[in-house]
């Protein structure tokens, strides 16, 4: 296939591009700066501009663009940055794919567009599959808008899948870097009650699932999470064991809420017991079904 990728320099994209090429696909990288290599093509999502010729003959687009969500308070300016970077990029590729959609419905183009399990809001310990409704906090509303921005492509007959990704466990993942350093210093522990679920997925399986979904007959929302979600207390206990350190210093919920504001309340102290029901039914086979395996892969020397 000929595949265009946005956000190709990020955590997932930088691992995905070489994997797609190893699979035999031709990969185009959409970049906002001046192209440096033959496989790079410039686009301007902020102003909804892209050369129609770039996507004229692609079979698929993997849209991973968007400002990373970092552990910091959600100020008004930061919220708008998160929102605009996602909606502008998604609308740009969706409209371009719609304009270039093939006349043959037997071979529709594919758009795999990033989203997040934050779509569901805080769901407590209730198992959540892809048919669950959206939540009401900022991240949930953002995910709903993000997914809705693919409508032009869907209306044109493009097969669209929304990649509702959980916490990615990989060597360069921000979560693993930060918590790994904290635990190695002997300062880690559960966050708040520790009963909130943290849906996770290994970086290998995030990339593997995207490769799988390029050709699988799947559309709509897809939870990209491991098959065995765990609570925050269990997550940090296993991470502490992986770095051979104790997890004995819990962080009180009010402290996290005060320090991180809405981000702390919605992304650290809340969670989703998200299950990858669509991937399971489609026949995807996980590389890391167990969190311990995912940590071992993420923490091994390069």
Q: What is the pLDDT of residue 52?
A: 85
Region 295-301: mean pLDDT is 87
Tell me how far apart the alpha carbons of residues 138 and 283 are, in angstroms, rounded to a whole number.
33
> Distance from CA of residue 104 to its chain's centroid?
31
Q: What is the pLDDT of residue 244?
A: 86
Q: Is 185 exposed, middle or buried (0-12, 13-18, 19+ CB in 10 A)?
A: exposed
Q: What is the pLDDT of residue 259?
A: 87
Give the model confidence (pLDDT) of 202-239 as tens digits: 999 999 999 999 999 999 999 999 999 999 999 999 98
Q: What is the pLDDT of residue 101?
A: 64
- 6 neighbors 89 (Cβ within 8 angstroms): yes
Give the model confidence (pLDDT) of 276-293 as tens digits: 999 999 999 999 999 999
Q: Is 44 helix (H, G, I), strand (E, B) or coil?
A: strand
Tell me how far apart the alpha carbons of residues 200 and 168 are, in angstroms, rounded to a whole number.
6
List all residues 6 or more positions away from 259 whose beta carbon is below 8 Å from its beta carbon.
Answer: none
Region 44-67: mean pLDDT is 93
Tell me how far apart the alpha carbons of residues 288 and 149 are, in angstroms, rounded to a whole number.
32
pTM for this one? 0.94
First to last CA, the chain: 30
Matching residue, tokens 């093939």: 102
Q: Which two tokens stand for residue 185?
A: 């210093």
Q: What is the pLDDT of residue 187?
A: 72
């Amino acid at each position: 296939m000929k595949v265009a990728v946005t956000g190709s320099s990020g955590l997932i994209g930088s691992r995905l591009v070489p994997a797609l090429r190893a699979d035999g696909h031709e990969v185009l990288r959409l970049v906002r700066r001046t192209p440096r290599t033959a496989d790079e093509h410039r686009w301007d999502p902020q102003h909804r501009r892209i050369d129609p010729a770039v996507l004229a003959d692609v079979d698929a687009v993997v849209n991973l663009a968007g400002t990373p969500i970092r552990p910091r308070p959600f100020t008004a300016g930061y919220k708008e940055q998160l929102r605009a970077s996602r909606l502008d990029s998604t609308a740009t590729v969706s409209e371009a794919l719609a304009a270039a959609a093939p006349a043959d419905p037997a071979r529709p183009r594919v758009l795999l567009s990033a989203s997040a399990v934050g779509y569901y809001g805080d769901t407590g310990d209730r198992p959540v599959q892809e048919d669950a409704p959206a939540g009401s906090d900022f991240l949930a509303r953002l995910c709903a808008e993000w997914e809705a921005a693919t409508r032009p492509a869907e209306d044109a007959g493009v097969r669209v899948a929304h990649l509702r990704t959980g916490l990615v466990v990989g060597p360069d993942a921000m979560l693993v870097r930060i918590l790994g350093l904290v635990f190695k210093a002997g300062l880690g522990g559960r966050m708040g009650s520790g009963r909130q679920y943290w849906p996770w997925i290994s970086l290998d399986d995030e990339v593997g699932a995207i490769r799988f979904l390029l050709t699988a007959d799947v559309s709509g929302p897809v939870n990209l999470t491991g098959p065995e979600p765990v609570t925050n207390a269990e997550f940090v206990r296993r991470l502490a064991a992986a770095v051979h350190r104790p997890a004995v210093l819990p962080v009180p919920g009010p402290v996290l809420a005060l320090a991180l504001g809405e981000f702390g309340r919605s992304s650290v102290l809340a969670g989703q017991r998200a299950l990858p029901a669509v991937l399971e039914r489609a026949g995807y086979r996980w590389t890391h079904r167990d969190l311990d395996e995912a940590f071992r892969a993420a923490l091994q020397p390069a």
